[in-house]
Amino acid sequence: MESKEIRQRFLEFFKRKQHEIVASAPLVIHNDPTLMFTNAGMNQFKDFFLGNADPSSKRIADTQKCLRVSGKHNDLEEVGLDTYHHTMFEMLGNWSFGDYFKKEAIEWAWELLTEEFQLPKDRLYASVFGGDEGDNMPLDQDALNLWKSIIPEDRIVYGNKKDNFWEMGETGPCGPCSEIHIDLRPETEVEKIPGKDLVNMDHPQVVEIWNLVFMQFNRMANGSLVKLPAQHVDTGMGFERLAMAIQKKTSNYDTDVFSPLINFIANKASVDYGKDEKTDIALRVISDHIRAIAFTIADGQLPSNNKAGYVIRRILRRAVRYGYTFLDFKEPFLYQLLPVLAGQFDGVFPELISQQDFIAKVIREEETSFLRTLDKGLTKLDVITKQAESGSKIIEGKIVFELYDTYGFPFDLTSLIARENGLSVDEEGFKNEMQVQKSRSKKDAATAKGDWIEVKHIDEVTFLGYDAVTSSAQISKYREVEEKGKTLYHIVLDQTPFYAESGGQVGDTGYLADGNQKTTIIDTKKENNLIIHFAKELPKNLEANFEAVVNVSKRQLTENNHSATHLLHAALRQVLGTHVQQKGSLVNDKTLRFDFSHFSKMTDEEILEVEKIVNQKIRENIQLNEQRNVPIEEAKNLGAMALFGEKYGDFVRVITFDKNYSVELCGGTHVPATGNIGQFKIISEGSVAAGVRRIEALTAEAAENYQLKQNEVLQQVNELLNNPKDTVKAIEALVKEKLELTKEIEEVNLEKGKQQKILLQQKVQAVNGFNLLIEQTELPNADALKKLAFEFKNEVENLIMVIAANIAGKPQIAVMISDNLVKEHALHAGNMVRELAKEIKGGGGGQPFFATAGGKEINGLPQAVTKAKELIESMTSHS
């Protein structure tokens, strides 16, 4: 049975059981500060478990894209080394929200696996929660009884809290779970050791395929468990492992989920899968990682140097590194896998095909950049190994960590290269550096949240901000939060005009007033489906009737910028082409930032044309057409632009400024008519990632002030130039004059350098077979010092040279040693210059044959020369 059919039959099975089949949520998480990526099938349903929203159906099933590469669930370093861990994987799941419970979940799971998929009953094992004394939790007797009615008791495993009690996080809904495991070993092995003895023992052929979680409790901040008002079912089955079991393979990578990718890579590398462990691991790593990389980019997360973007960059670099080291891929190759991957998911996750060219270009740019970094890292490692060979034969842990952190070299790669050179690495030192970084990250991110304290029960928060900036309100619940040593309060109101940060638009600020006290709201954010108001203090009377008041000035300026991004998006598509897609935005009361897909720098003419179009639409004073609760298909028929990576419900909000110009799905607030924006001015355009450009712009008074400032600067320039008739020509003449003068100065400096060289040549001394030059001098610039050093190296044999130079009042030292002396006498210019730099209160370093240092103390140059003579006299007398 092919994997596509397996997935389809799972969904059809639960459709027959009256489940609504829903689409996968994006891999990249929005509006949930506790997660960067979707790491489990239940993530998109958290609001239903938390009671913050009602599901469209009490029974739901889907296949969910998941990523486990950060936080508690981090499998990255295991991926490829074994045959069953993955970064991106699919989670097949079925859910009950207060409807059916353990009986149906267990019986249907058994029916699907043994009847629909015909898996052998005698190879399946079930686990149940065996209880936990710490939580005062008994054995899950209900699940045990249900399983005993289905399978012999000797195939039931009693699991501990770690294996059989599932928790969403440190707090929140949780409950016992029942896992289903399958034994895929050959009969000869089964006869030796029963499968039951290998359950949860990390055996590659005795694996968990389905986890049935029974949500019964809520974990409080103090660790106690409180029974939930309704009981839920949350199941998750690894699609790749299920395919392995059904297709009778012993590895996930042998299934047709991965084999097309592995075959493509193996063919390109001219290797055979299954012949060599090193190349096999590389093939598995690459075939796994390309899925994670492609899907996250499709869902709107680009590789970068922070947070989620850094995680994706690490995955991509790990794949490139394995290809480079073990498959001899010295040119970009990952991007070439996109057509194969997209074809595999055609009809399942169409975002890969619709964005295939964009994803491929982003990946190729990242590969090209990292291959350059990899070369630099290998060069640096080569220098390090040569130094270690002449010293302790151990590469320091700090250096190993630097290679890992800066150049993307994993510990095992550095260790492998070290062993090849007869060296070892300081593993403990590396681990210590890793721990320091982790501790620092944890400290930076440390947040302690108290339990929600309910003041007034509500079923759902009502948002009034589209129509009002003030409203009456009552506090529904609140909690205390400790963040980076500061105490804040999160307040949830029964209804609110405050817009919560979302879709690039910042959250509202304002205040709550009850007649006696004003409580300042410093920010508004979304967490799951809650609108949370941030305050530094709580109102004295929590049960009062409040007036919730938004900062109108800030809201209006923010709306100017938000509506301008819609006009800008449409103008970019008109000028550059329909390939332009929004890739991110930030709108606040001061500025707007808009990221979009485009693969070349915009010309001045294109920027001007976009500006003209937007300002024309502003002058037309187009009235806002806002449509709420529009069926998603109807919205698409209207031509509404949707953002990739966003999860849209069955009903959406459509924002239109002229149906023939700008129609977008959007949850933000907007101006009532484009004339309110006043004017629009682009202040910068540049690249932020491969294939992604960024425009920053101003509107309204900020745009006017910017242009007034530009005019003021131009007026000042004209005054300095004595008000020429043609300002541009006058500046061109000045630039030309400057270039000519610069050239004359360079020629003078060159002549000075030649004179200094002649003087210094006369001071070279022959001592014990060495040619020594240790002098203080004056030079025009650092380039002259470097040029001088290399000329002497090329012209004087057996040279040890130290020049202490006064360069425009700043001290600089250069050390040059002939290559043969470095090898024969273990000399090192970098070590020497670091010692001499102390005399000028500075620092420096470099290669064994050439190094430089700069400092602050110009009067230290004579002492540096004296110290150099002492050091070199000591070296030469012992040689």
**HEC letters along 329-387:** CCCCCHHHHHHHHHHHCCCCCCHHHHCHHHHHHHHHHHHHHHHHHHHHHHHHHHHHHHH
Sheet (strand 510-513) strand order? 470-473, 546-550, 510-513, 518-521
Residues 425, 428, 432, 438: is their CA dihedral positive or negative? positive
Identity of the amino acid at 238: G
Asked if residues 525 and 488 have their Cβ atoms less than 8 Å apart, the reply is no
Estimate the share of the chain in helix, then strand, then coil, as percent rounded to the nearest 5: 45, 25, 30
Instruction: For the beta carbon of residue 229, count every other beta carbon within 10 angstroms.
Output: 8
Distance CA 662, CA 61 (A): 35
Give the strand pairing for 394-395 and 124-129: unpaired
**What pTM, to 2 d.p., does this model score?**
0.74
Asked if residues 793 and 818 have their Cβ atoms less than 8 Å apart, the reply is yes
DSSP letter (8 states) at residue 840:
G
Closest CA to 160 of 132, 140, 185: 132
The pLDDT, as a whole number, for residue 557 is 97
DSSP 272-331: -TTS-HHHHHHHHHHHHHHHHHHHHHHTT----SSHHHHHHHHHHHHHHHHHHHHS---S
- 187 by Cβ neighbours in 10 Å (0-12 / 13-18 / 19+) ranks as exposed
Distance CA 499, CA 66 (A): 30
Closest CA to 341 of 280, 305, 295: 295
Distance CA 550, CA 499 (A): 9
The three-class DSSP label of residue 232 is strand
Angle between helices 411-420 and 356-389 (to 10 degrees): 40
The pLDDT, as a whole number, for residue 375 is 77
> Which tokens in the block code for residue 410?
């994993």
Distance CA 505, CA 524 (A): 11
Asked if residues 387 and 421 have their Cβ atoms less than 8 Å apart, the reply is no
Distance CA 496, CA 489 (A): 17
The three-class DSSP label of residue 853 is strand
The pLDDT, as a whole number, for residue 394 is 86
Distance CA 695, CA 847 (A): 42
In angstroms, what CA-CA distances link 490 with 443, 451, 764?
Answer: 21, 11, 75
Asked if residues 566 and 626 have their Cβ atoms less than 8 Å apart, the reply is no
DSSP 44-85: GGHHHHHTSS--S-SEEEEEEEEE-EETTEE-GGGTTTSSS-
The pLDDT, as a whole number, for residue 447 is 66
Distance CA 754, CA 747 (A): 11
For residues 23-46, one letter each, b for 16 or more C-beta atoms within 10 angstroms of the residue's C-beta and e for the rest, the string is: ebbbbbbebeebbbbbbbbbbbbb
Sheet (strand 765-767) strand order? 765-767, 770-778, 799-807, 810-817, 850-854, 843-846
The pLDDT, as a whole number, for residue 109 is 97
Closest CA to 176 of 197, 155, 162: 162
DSSP letter (8 states) at residue 861:
H
Closest CA to 10 of 121, 122, 111, 101: 111
User: Which residues does the chain have with pLDDT short of 50?
Assistant: none
